Structures are given as structure tokens and as C-alpha cells.
Amino acid sequence: MHPRPRIVAIDMDGTLLPTTSTAMSARNAQALRAAQEAGITVAIATGRRVAYTFPLLEGHGLRPDMPVIASNGAVVKTLGGEAIDRCLMESRVGRALCGLLRPYGALVFTFDRPGRGELVLEDIDQAHGRIAMWVEANRHAIEIVKPLEDALIDGEDPIQGMAAGTIYQMREAEKALKASAWAGECNWTKTEYPARDISILDLLPLGVSKVWALKRLAERLGVDRREVMAIGDNWNDEGMLEWAGQAWVMANASEELRALAKLSGWRQAPSNDQDGVAVVLERVLRNGAGI
């Protein structure tokens, strides 16, 4: 029996959120509130940036001091807006990645500034062709700069970059990145959605990831990794699932990730469309200990 978790880190897309909606279910929201009331720190850990995350969490009665690990760990804030952690990518690295990865798909860079210019890309039609829903939801924040390198000015460093395309394209992009001289200058993490043949390669400051941010949060709160639970569904969750003392993979995760879960001893939760997060949290609270 594991100790009762003191931190539960939960991914959003494919985990906390249902497949066909960006609204959290009532059952999941209630489970998050109940966990908070029981003294558990519920941390959201997502590839989404802060401005694309907070609206989905607000209005559910969640504590304002809830940590939100956004941009795959590059930015950490409380739901109330208090800054906890932030790490930026050097613009010179971003410029190099443009030339390296442009042949493989649409490129976007995220900056820590509100409104238009928070997201910068050079070909909105190409991006719309692959990630149309994301483009439509974020048009107010998008600025077009061509070539994209012109947006990456020294002293105005981005939070992260993102390449998007088919699963094959992003696997090839990852191969190119690994073989390049820039592999030691940045971090990257991949998400794949086989049903839609869409993949995203998030380009991060060196050393930054969800697990990097989660480790720092646990250290700040004085929590041992055995008392940390992680719940996720995709490859950008792999690090925190490996590090956390208690790991749950969603039933809707890819076959490859579920196979890794079996080898690693991670538990399988019901799918995101079956309120799998709530099922896990309800069991934790009912049993009074980890599982």
C-alpha cells in the first residue's frame, strides 16, 4: 500500500478533459474539490499555456492557490495568478530551430505577454490545416511574422516553441533534432493523437519538462516522491509518470504507452470520457491511502 498522496499532478487534454469538449465534467470538478478539501495539493500539468488553461479551470470552486504547471513546465502559476516558476528559451536557440524544423510542419512560438503577439507563427494557413481548432480558439493572440526568425529577438526570449504536423512528420522532426548540434541546447517533448494523425513537438528551454516543474513543486512543499501521484495519457506525461511514486495512465492512452505502463507497474485508470480522474481520486479519498 502506497502512502496517501500529498500532491496529485493531473494532465488536461486526454486526461482531465473529455475528448469532444473543453469543459471539465461535473464529476471531475467535484473530485478535484474533494481532494483539495482533504488537504491534497492538486496540480494541473499541461502542455497548454497559462492563458489557454485558466479559463477551463475557473468557475469550478477550485482553490486559488492551486498550482498550474503550464507550457510543459516552462511556466508555473497558481490559479489565482501568482507566479511560482518560469524558464525561457534563448532566442538564438529558437532561431536555429526554425531553420531546422520548418520543413517538417507548422511552427509556433509562445511569448509571456498578453494579447496579440503571445503566439507568433509565419503561415496561419499551414497551421490551420493541421491544428484548426487550436488556431480558431487562439486567433486573438496570434501574430504573423515572416520569416519567423524575425520575432525571435535577443532580449525578448520565448517561453517555448511548437512544431505541429502528422505523426510521421513529427517523428522525423524529432530525429532531425536529435541528430543536430542543437540537441544539447533545448528540451523537447512529444504528444501524439493517432485517431486524428496529429502530433505536436513542444520545444522547451534546456532541462525543462513537466517532471522538472513537478520535482521543484514537491521540493518546495517538502513532499517526498512516494507521496506524489501523477495521472496522464501521452508521451509528454512520461517523465512525471516515471518519477512519481504513484502513476496512473488513462485507458485512452496509446497502445505503446499502455504497454510501457504495464512494464513500469503503473496503474490504468478509466478513460477521460469515463471520468477516469474522478474514479482515481474517489478511490484515494475513500481508502484513505494511495493505491
Q: What is the pLDDT of residue 291?
A: 58
Q: What is the pLDDT of residue 126?
A: 77
State the chain's mean pLDDT as an integer. Answer: 94
Q: List pLDDT tens digits, range 104-153.
A: 999 999 998 888 999 999 988 877 676 788 888 889 999 999 999 999 99
Fold of 7-86+209-287: Rossmann fold (3.40.50)
For the CA atoms of 26, 32, 33, 35, what is the dihedral angle to 10 degrees?
A: 140
Fold of 91-205: 3.30.1240
Which pLDDT band, with edges at 50, 70 and 90, does 255 fall under? very high
Q: Locate the domains of the chain by residue range.
A: 7-86+209-287, 91-205
